[in-house]
């Protein structure tokens, strides 16, 4: 997953301007740090509530279904148990994930691998973490970008984030799976579009201490953690922090270039927040 810092986001934003483990298979996972938010945004035209986001919810359903019928969930008896299940998981991740050393062979499967890898997750924690972040941030971003625009943005940024990691680790034979790069892109776009959305983060100081900050404070802090972790990154199984950084950057730049300042939603710093609803491995 992306980081060890859990967040729960609640936000109410008003627009004040013109609309503008040895036994486990070796898998590179990417995850995203996200918050769960009950999004209530009062925008002048049109209102952004996060309630109408079929692409976001569809992505969550598809990812969950694929995980449940695959070997990673451990629920499908067709994949066996014990060593047989582990072998099935390794083969599954290699078939549908990105293997950097194979990516630029020119084969159709290698070209499609970054696309299929976006829908594959390596563990329950990997899946639930990513889907939570997508649920929290994706709905509002989708409403702002539009359904088709958001779908293309999500797939395109996720694809490029996985390719960027593969290029940086061209000799690696580890399988890279997960939607973390794509979801990190959603976070980057969210930061630009809704910089003052209030984010409640749980920081592990002896116990989980809830602190509330605007997105322009919380998300850059998260990016800093990813950057520091990427500096210690190895070629072995774990979290693809580089894909998180690339995805986040792509998302922010896209939102800035496509929507500009007019799309940014501002809200009072003391706006009350509603109660939350609610890879390498992403």
Residue 201 CA to residue 209 CA, distance in Å, equals: 8
CA distances from 209 to 60, 180, 200, 201, 206 (A): 29, 25, 10, 8, 8
Tell whether 275 is covered by a domain. Answer: no
Q: Are 32 and 239 in contact (CB under 8 A)?
A: no
Which residues does the chain have with pLDDT short of 70? 1-51, 199-213, 231-238, 261-282
pLDDT number for residue 154: 98
Q: pTM of the entire structure?
A: 0.73
Tell whether 183 is covered by a domain. Answer: yes
Tell whether 276 is covered by a domain. Answer: no
Rounded to 5, what percent of the chain is helix, strand, coil? 50, 15, 35
pLDDT number for residue 28: 53
Residue 86 CA to residue 90 CA, distance in Å, equals: 6
pLDDT number for residue 215: 74
Residue 45 CA to residue 24 CA, distance in Å, equals: 50
Token pair listed for 160: 């490029």
For the chain, the domain total comes to 1
pLDDT number for residue 241: 83
pLDDT number for residue 224: 83
Tell whether 282 is covered by a domain. Answer: no
Tell whether 270 is covered by a domain. Answer: no
Tell whether 188 is covered by a domain. Answer: yes
pLDDT number for residue 136: 83
Among 78, 116, 40, 97, smallest CA distance to 276 is for 40
The CATH number linked to 86 is 1.20.1540.10
pLDDT number for residue 42: 37
pLDDT number for residue 104: 82
Distance of CA 34 to the CA centre of its chain: 8
Tell whether 44 is covered by a domain. Answer: yes
Residue-number span of the structural domain to which 182 is assigned: 6-263
Residue 50 burial by Cβ neighbours in a 10 Å radius (0-12, 13-18, 19+): buried
Tell whether 134 is covered by a domain. Answer: yes
Tens-digit pLDDT profile for residues 118-177: 999 999 999 998 998 899 889 989 999 999 999 999 999 999 999 999 998 888 888 999
pLDDT number for residue 27: 54
């Amino acid at each position: 997953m992306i980081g060890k810092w859990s967040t729960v986001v609640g936000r109410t934003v008003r627009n004040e301007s013109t609309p503008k483990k040895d036994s486990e298979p070796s898998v590179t996972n990417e995850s995203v740090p996200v918050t769960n938010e009950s999004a209530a945004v009062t925008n002048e035209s049109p209102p952004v509530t996060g309630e109408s986001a079929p692409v976001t919810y569809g992505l969550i359903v598809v990812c969950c279904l694929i995980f449940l019928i695959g070997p990673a969930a451990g629920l499908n008896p067709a994949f066996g148990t014990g060593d047989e299940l582990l072998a099935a998981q390794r083969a599954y991740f290699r078939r549908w994930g990105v293997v950097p050393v194979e990516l630029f062979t020119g084969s159709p499967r290698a070209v499609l691998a970054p696309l299929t890898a976006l829908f594959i997750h390596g563990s329950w924690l990997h899946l639930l973490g990513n889907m939570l972040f997508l649920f929290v941030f994706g709905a509002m971003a989708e409403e702002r970008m539009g359904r088709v625009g958001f779908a293309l943005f999500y797939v395109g940024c996720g694809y490029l984030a996985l390719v960027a990691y593969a290029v940086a680790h061209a000799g690696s034979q580890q399988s890279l799976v997960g939607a973390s790069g794509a979801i990190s892109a959603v976070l980057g776009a969210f930061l630009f579009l809704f910089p003052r959305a209030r984010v409640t983060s749980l920081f592990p100081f002896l116990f989980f201490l809830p602190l509330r900050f605007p997105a322009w404070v919380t998300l850059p802090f998260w990016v800093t953690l990813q950057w520091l972790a990427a500096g210690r990154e190895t070629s072995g199984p774990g979290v693809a922090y580089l894909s998180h950084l690339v995805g986040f950057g792509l998302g922010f730049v896209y939102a800035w270039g496509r929507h500009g300042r007019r799309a940014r939603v501002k809200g009072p710093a003391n706006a009350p927040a509603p109660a939350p609803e609610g890879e390498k491995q992403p």
